[in-house]
Amino acid sequence: MRGKVALDGRERLAWHGSILIVGTLLGNLTGFLREAGVAAFLGATRAADVYVVAFTVPEFLWSAMRNILPGVALPILASVSLADGGLSRWRVATALLSVIGTMLAFLSALALLTGRWWMPWLAPGFSPSEQVLALRLARLMFIWVIIGGLASLLAAYLNSLEHFFFPALTTVAYNLTFLTLLFLLYQRLGIFALAWGVALGGVAQLLIQLPGLWQRRAWRRAWSFWQPEVRNLLPFGGYFLLGYTVHYLGIAVTRSLASSLAVGAVAMLNYATMLGGIITMISGFSLGTAAFPRIAESARSGWSHLAPVITIVLHWSWFLGLPLSLGTFVLSRPLVQVVYGRGAFDQASVTDTARLLRFLLLAVLADGLSQPMWFVVYSLRQGKPLLVINAVVTTFRIALALLLIRWLSFYGLALAVSLAFVGQVFLLGYVILPEGRTLWSVLRHGYWWRVALAGCVLLPFTWLGKALSAPLGALPVLVVGSLFGGIAYFAAGWLLALPEARALTRLWGRFRS
């Protein structure tokens, strides 16, 4: 692309972010196909509940690595000079791979040996045979924990070189592998085909990134099992692991409570969370990942250097997250119908999942705003605040869940998540902003209200598209409603002089030239 070197801050983030967003969209598209396949074979049945519960502890360990490793490892890697052609950074990366691989193997073995104690707590509503089946499935899934964790660390290394293409495809590789094994092996292996899909999906996540090492000439024959920089992983990594453990405790308690409700409650809550997660990935995680090398570099120079970077990222997060959340609220039912509504997934399940998704949207928007601020916490290596924020948010989430479940059933669980994540945004703002500034003082800036006004313009046009295409079926409703709302939002953003709308226009012009 000619003129790439002339990109300003917003355009550079848009360029790198677009790579990750496209990868996220492809990952979520294939993820929807994956979940649609699971829904078609299992529906919202007890078998689906068993699969989700079996996935919980492996998912926790892998998700911990996916979130912790970039946050901890990328600032370490970014601090290592590339003056020697990258050899020193590669040595640090291989030392991290050695240490993390050993730790993942140990944690997986520990989880397997203690499964008979934690499984009854995780699924108290299951019969003993269902608990045994869930544990057998989980044992296969721990392969994914080890291999997938190493794949996340390799992605952090490539991201430190500002190479995002192949790391952005890891989710696609996982989902396509899972889908292939599901359709090939389900008739022969039953629910165990899903466990094998999870395990071998982790292998695919690692293999898809090897061309990236070759392309960036990042592959070195030298391998190190220890480097002095690895010591920096341990203190903050310990806080990070504890904080994420506390965070995931909230997820585990939510699933445990849901397992005691109606059959299929755990599965429907998971299906709705998967759909909402695409907004967080696009509006928060992808943008934060694209900007993370810059955030890590500027954080070492103080707030005056960090403020412009984080402001741009938060603006993009709000600019993308708000319309996606509002549009999903209007189109939740056709979205669930298109993604899940087939096979064993009946219309009652479609209705309940769509309602759950609406209750979760506030959490989705808040988590999208939280992600860039978490990257600042990681760059500043603020371990104690990280642990405290997770502890407060999780305690609030569990307390609200226990209170609201009495009146709203599993909808109360979703509402508890939303309210807790709104609190998380303000806690993170308090931590990362310098003394004398509050998140509210930042939010009062006119930019945020102009985006909200553009979102108000989006709503009637999305409803109009939905109404006009309703006789045609769920897929046309989803396409037409999204198209009407998206065009109206972008036009309103242009008229309101939102810099992101102008940046996207300039970037498109560069592509055309």
Domain ranges within the chain, ordered by starting residue: 46-226, 256-513
In a 13 Å sphere around the CA of 487, the CA atoms on its Cβ side amount to: 8
Average pLDDT, the chain: 82
The predicted model scores a pTM of 0.71
Q: What end-to-end distance do the CA atoms of the chain give, in Å? A: 8
Task: Note the Cα 252 to chain centre separation in Å.
Answer: 17
Flag whether pLDDT at 85 surpasses 50: yes
Helical ranges in 265-382 per DSSP H: 265-280, 287-299, 303-330, 332-340, 347-380
The pLDDT value given to residue 127: 80
Contacts of range 121-124, beta carbons closer than 8 Å, 24 or more positions apart: 121/256, 122/53, 122/56, 122/57, 122/252, 122/255, 122/256, 123/49, 123/50, 123/53, 123/255, 123/256, 123/259, 124/256, 124/259, 124/260
User: pLDDT tens-digit profile of 151-190?
Assistant: 888 887 887 777 777 887 888 998 999 999 888 888 888 7
Distances (CA, A) of 245 to 69, 231, 248, 465, 481: 14, 21, 5, 43, 39
**How many CB atoms within 10 Å of residue 230?**
19
* Cα 129 from Cα 127, distance rounded (Å): 5
* Cα 58 from Cα 134, distance rounded (Å): 12
Q: Residue 436, exposed/middle/buried by CB under 10 A (0-12, 13-18, 19+)?
A: exposed
The pLDDT value given to residue 2: 38
Flag whether pLDDT at 441 surpasses 70: no
* Contact status, residue 199 vs residue 141, Cβ threshold 8 Å: yes
Q: What is the mean pLDDT of residues 376-381?
A: 82
Instruction: Name the nearest CA neighbour of 348 among 268, 246, 459.
Output: 268
